[in-house]
Chain A
Amino acid sequence: MDLAKKVLQGDEKSAARLISMIEDGGDEGHREISLLFSHTGKAHIIGVTGTPGAGKSTLISKLAVNFADKGKKVGIIAVDPTSPKDNGALLGDRLRMRDVEETKGVFIRSMASRGYPGGIAKASAGAVYVLEALGKEIIMVETVGAGQTEMQIYSLCNTIITILAPDYGDEIQLMKAGLLEIGDIVAINKADNVRAEDISAEIAVYIGKNKSKGWETPVLTVQAKEGGGIEKLVEAVNEHFVYLNKNTCGKDIKKEKLKTFMFALLKEELWNRALNTWAGNKRFDSIVKKLQKGEIDPYAAVRKALEINGL
């Protein structure tokens, strides 16, 4: 398999195939990724998060067109939620990025948030590395950021833009979700000027906590659909990238994020290996049966299950 070589030569079909291989799990995908890894690390990885309906997809497509018009090669990874009920997914973000479909040189890949044997963190990391090796200088990752794993996708990103719509509801909810805290840039979408100032004042209290020195989170207003405020947003994004690369703080942040991300992958991998051990294991099945019959309590069940793994 020389997918890695083809990807480095700019072959989109091979890149798409390799991303699928990583989604499917298995060693072959990993081996190819390792060949690509030394060619990564320079792209600007921009995470875009926010409450559902805030306008993430629209904003990403406007940003992508803006970057592409300036000659940058762009990749987009759009993560959509998978239904826990039927395990299927309707990957609809691409539909909302119509502008980008007309633009050459933009690679869009949609992903479902669960159900990848390796886990979504691993799948999205793989996709980011592949797109960078393919030659993309700017890679945007869109996700809802609801679950813990989705939060860990953000440690893959250099810059995170949090989008809010003025009717976002309870500020406390946002604090819990951590969406505001992780934003390096906050963009308020669909806001008329008066309301935007109110919101800026409200959220100024929440952002700036746990913030590293040297970067003050800007709060910008945009009208994503009409393309308003995009140029200022692009400026802020570029400024943040410069800050990360020129600053010691920035380098420390990068190191910390790499470690966080490794732990996210470890967590997924450990769980998958454990699942593999227990699948079809008669000892495991009998532990579950005992628990369900009330013969043992859940804590004892877990202790016994882990003994199967030697833990």
Chain B
Amino acid sequence: MEEYAMHEKRIKILIAKPGLDGHDRGAKVVSHALKEAGMEVIYSGLHKTIDQIVNIALQEDVDIIGLSIMTGAHIPIVEKLMKKMRDEDIIDKTVFVGGVIPAKDISKLKGLGVAGVFPGGTPLSEMIEFIKTHMKKA
């Protein structure tokens, strides 16, 4: 039982839907899965601007920003995000990207500073394992 155990530091993650993308089922499924894996999850809701996403990440002091992008605009969005994160001095936070991401863009995203890319179809267990392992090293 929770009250009788010593706590491991919990991972706090923001799942964000940037821009005009209206498909949120994936983001909601991932949010629930991460919660069930013991994480503290904040779901941003639809149609958030980069400024709003960075503001939430800053106020909530999340460990990870997880972008869910189905529109194909992942590269410009991540470029904007990284710039804003630098401006607000939170570039040390980890960024993951999931959604409709073609394999050929993965290395470009990683080059921009994204720690993990989870194209649609990635098993949830794999995502969770990656996140937990990555955060242990951080």
Q: What is the total number of residues of chain B having a CB less than 8 Å from a CB of chain A?
A: 32
Cβ–Cβ < 8 Å partners of B126 in chain A: none
Say yes or no: A19-B34 contact (C-beta < 8 A), given A88-B39, A101-B52, A114-B3. no
Contacts of B3 in A (CB 8 A): 114, 271
Residues of A within 8 A of B89 (CB): 13
| Assembled-state Cα–Cα distance A40/B40 (Å) | 29
Residues in A whose Cβ lies below 8 Å from that of B55: 101
Residues of B within 8 A of A289 (CB): none
| B6–A112 touching, CB < 8 Å | no
B contacts with A: majority SS:
mixed
Which residues of chain A come closer than 8 Å to B10, judged between CB atoms? Answer: 87-88, 112, 115
Query: Once bound together, how far apart are the Cα atoms of A107 and B61, in whole Å?
Result: 12
A86: interface (CB < 8 Å) = yes
Report the Cα distance A20→B57, complex, angstroms.
12
Residues of B within 8 A of A90 (CB): 31-32, 35, 41, 43
Q: Are A16 and B59 in contact (CB under 8 A)?
A: yes
A117 and B56 CA atoms in complex are apart in Å by 24
Q: Is the CB of B61 within 8 A of A16?
A: yes
For the complex formed, measure the closest distance between the CB of A6 and the CB atoms of chain B, giving whole angstroms. 11
| A107 surroundings in chain B (CB, below 8 A) | 59
Q: Are A16 and B45 in contact (CB under 8 A)?
A: no
Give bound CA distance, A144 to B2, whole Å: 19
Q: Is B20 positioned at the interface, with any CB of A under 8 Å from its CB?
A: no
Question: Are B56's CB and A94's CB within 8 A?
Answer: yes
B1 contacts across to A, CB distance below 8 A: 84
Considering the complex, give the chain B residue whose CB is closest to the CB of A17.
Answer: B61
> Which residues of A are found within 8 Å of B35, using beta-carbon distances?
83, 86, 88-90
Render A260-302 as a binary contact track against B, CB cut-off 8 A, 1 for contact. 0000000000010001100100000000000000000000000
Which residues of chain A (82-113) have a CB below 8 Å from chain B?
Answer: 82-84, 86-92, 94-95, 98, 101, 107-110, 112
Q: Identify 17 residue pairs between A and B in the complex whose beta-carbon atoms are under 8 Å apart, listed by A's number.
A: A12-B58, A13-B88, A16-B60, A20-B61, A24-B9, A84-B1, A84-B2, A86-B37, A87-B38, A90-B31, A90-B41, A101-B55, A108-B56, A109-B59, A112-B40, A117-B7, A271-B3
Residues of B within 8 A of A (CB): 1-4, 6-7, 9-10, 31-32, 34-45, 52, 55-56, 58-61, 88-90
Which A residues are within 8 Å of any B CB, using their own CB?
12-13, 16-17, 19-20, 24, 82-84, 86-92, 94-95, 98, 101, 107-110, 112, 114-117, 271, 275-276, 279
